[in-house]
Structure 1
């Protein structure tokens, strides 16, 4: 079956359909990863986007239960040069096409993805529409021109309920803005007692969970579309150690008075070099974001730049000069990789332990005793 991809500038690609028979619109982006297409498909940060894979052969190792980064994919379309319908891998449980069909996502293959990627690099990401129907191009163009990009992706991908992943070490509140399961996996592997909360959880609600640290997750879209999260972070800065990843990094920057802006075509892939300024060491990182912290906005804030992107020199890491809080723009949980930066979770836990040593808490019994004493004095009045 034929499928078509129409861009907002009028460029039309005609190829073959795989996945669902459907019509969907979204922001057309590209990912430079050679492997890991299942992790790309299931990363909530792609919510509302049509993803182009620059590696030409996709689908050859199929889909397996163990590699999902979310309970379901949130992308609006998948674009590849060549789709392999029959996977060849002992772990495969079903094919890429079957996954897309299950969730109503259209895919298009046999188009010139190199040309598409060069266009997006030159002109920037743009709105697009994938269809398997036979509508006239003029009708599709009119529909696309009237469309707007989503602004509620975080609400769509965040958990709706609080849930726990018990452990016997530090309690971490993971604020889910569209979190990859790799973040939860890294924390639980270190024995953390993790409580996952929705994106709109307030500072007081987090305090009642008595966490040792707060993990701000990745997520889709513009950080300025989530002002309630900025308010929550601002109220908890200095009180509880904080570690932000991707969207969490941008929200942390906004809470500290910095600004964010949209990149021309973003960073998406598993091969992005990042330099740690303290050591001059270069890490190869997994990335997926279309926004960045504006470098000029750091001046006058309590933030210090810790990492930069070796390709375009954008900010990749920040830390607070007064409070126990830091963040990175890339994904230390990797999935599918590389795993160079997983040590950041260890640094987060070490920061929590140092903070607790420097700020010892009164025993719970003493706090209860003081509360009861105050209530008794009030009653005697």
Structure 2
């Protein structure tokens, strides 16, 4: 059996079965999702993290590229109770170390008790505990990854949905999932995906109807260019954001953000809409949250479990954001209408749908 060691912050070292070789380090987090492992593993929001699956068997329906959210696996390493051969082979091809035969219940409990933590991974025929501990020693805190946006963003602008009859969207790519772009294109939008450090000149060249800030990894305070863009355009354009995008919009409009103990990651997070009283199930993947939205934003939705903001709207400006992922591949699909609401902000007031009287 190939040796595998996982060194946790605090000095505890776990031993498991190596399924894909290599060494790695990152912030140890967990997801409660029991399907959608392909989507999770290709989600750019997991950059610089080590992903633990709490569901015991990962890979029971294979690996299909059409389900990918980006062009590569983003977690630095993967931990599981049991990985199928298909997933292990895929991770090996991607150069991502993988370990199974771990008691992931214990790992998840450790994270819940101690918070997301640094860890080091070593997998291979000749690795030792010291190799994993050396990776742990070199691991940086998530907030110290100041250039993380560059690791997940497009280098040059790309265009999707050309020829659509709908609105033009300038999407700032801080690590966007492919299904977000697909959801906008499916509604006839033309989506210009711009780098995370796009300038006002880049946005002006697109002549957009909506400015959209994407999801992505890391500390929102490290995305200074995106924050500046929201500040620049909020008085002239409707602004929308998902996940990290909500946090960036909040920072731009005078709010504050904070790191969560272990974040929200999974497909069963309940969210309450404060206006309708409806609770929807959502997919989430974030380690930071809005602590105070400030005076220019109002909380429209909250997490049922911990009351953290899940939706924001502008007090006197066209802004709408979500902390969760409305596109939610593989599901749930309770909140796909968010994209209709985003694009509706760009319509002239005279053509917007008016709710019928009860």
Change in Cα spacing, 1:321 to 1:107, as seen in structure 2 (3 Å) is: same
Return 5+ residue gaps in structure 2 as ranges: 353-358
1:159 matched to which residue of 2?
Answer: 154
Tell me if structure 2 keeps the 8 A contact 1:277–1:307. yes
1:168 aligned counterpart, secondary structure: coil
> How far off its partner does 1:349 sit?
1.4
Change in Cα spacing, 1:138 to 1:164, as seen in structure 2 (3 Å) is: closer
Tell me if structure 2 keeps the 8 A contact 1:8–1:141. no
Q: What is the CA–CA distance in structure 2 between the aligned matches of 1:139 and 1:108, rounded to whole Å?
A: 15
Change in Cα spacing, 1:135 to 1:71, as seen in structure 2 (3 Å) is: closer
1:24 matched to which residue of 2?
Answer: 24
Q: What is the CA–CA distance in structure 2 between the aligned matches of 1:142 and 1:340, rounded to whole Å?
A: 44
Tell me if structure 2 keeps the 8 A contact 1:7–1:129. yes
User: Which of 124, 127, 138 matches 2:115?
Assistant: 124
2:244 matched to which residue of 1?
Answer: 247
> How far off its partner does 1:3 sit?
1.1
2:139 matched to which residue of 1?
Answer: 147
Tell me if structure 2 keeps the 8 A contact 1:273–1:282. yes
1:9 matched to which residue of 2?
Answer: 10
Q: What is the CA–CA distance in structure 1 between the aligned matches of 2:138 and 2:18, rounded to whole Å?
A: 25
> How far off its partner does 1:135 sit?
4.4
> How far off its partner does 1:151 sit?
3.1
* Pairs aligned (count): 345
Q: What is the CA–CA distance in structure 2 between the aligned matches of 1:216 and 1:224, rounded to whole Å?
A: 14
User: Which of 100, 103, 107 matches 2:91?
Assistant: 100
Change in Cα spacing, 1:24 to 1:355, as seen in structure 2 (3 Å) is: farther
Tell me if structure 1 keeps the 8 A contact 2:172–2:194. yes
> How far off its partner does 1:104 sit?
0.5
1:5 aligned counterpart, secondary structure: strand
> How far off its partner does 1:16 sit?
0.8
> How far off its partner does 1:282 sit?
0.4
Change in Cα spacing, 1:140 to 1:73, as seen in structure 2 (3 Å) is: closer
Say yes or no: does 1:205 pair with 2:197: no
Return 5+ residue gaps in structure 1 as ranges: 86-94, 359-381
Q: What is the CA–CA distance in structure 1 between the aligned matches of 2:349 and 2:153, rounded to whole Å?
A: 29
2:92 aligned counterpart, secondary structure: helix
Q: What is the CA–CA distance in structure 2 between the aligned matches of 1:230 and 1:35, rounded to whole Å?
A: 34
2:63 matched to which residue of 1?
Answer: 63
How big is the alpha-carbon RMSD for the aligned residues of Structure 1 and Structure 2? 1.5
Q: What is the CA–CA distance in structure 2 between the aligned matches of 1:73 and 1:159, rounded to whole Å?
A: 16
Q: What is the CA–CA distance in structure 1 between the aligned matches of 2:27 and 2:178, rounded to whole Å?
A: 24
Tell me if structure 2 keeps the 8 A contact 1:173–1:213. yes
> How far off its partner does 1:302 sit?
1.1
Say yes or no: does 1:79 pair with 2:79: yes
2:214 matched to which residue of 1?
Answer: 217
> How far off its partner does 1:145 sit?
2.4
Tell me if structure 2 keeps the 8 A contact 1:249–1:329. yes
Q: Which has the larger radius of gyration?
A: 1
User: Which of 88, 104, 108 matches 1:113?
Assistant: 104
2:345 aligned counterpart, secondary structure: helix
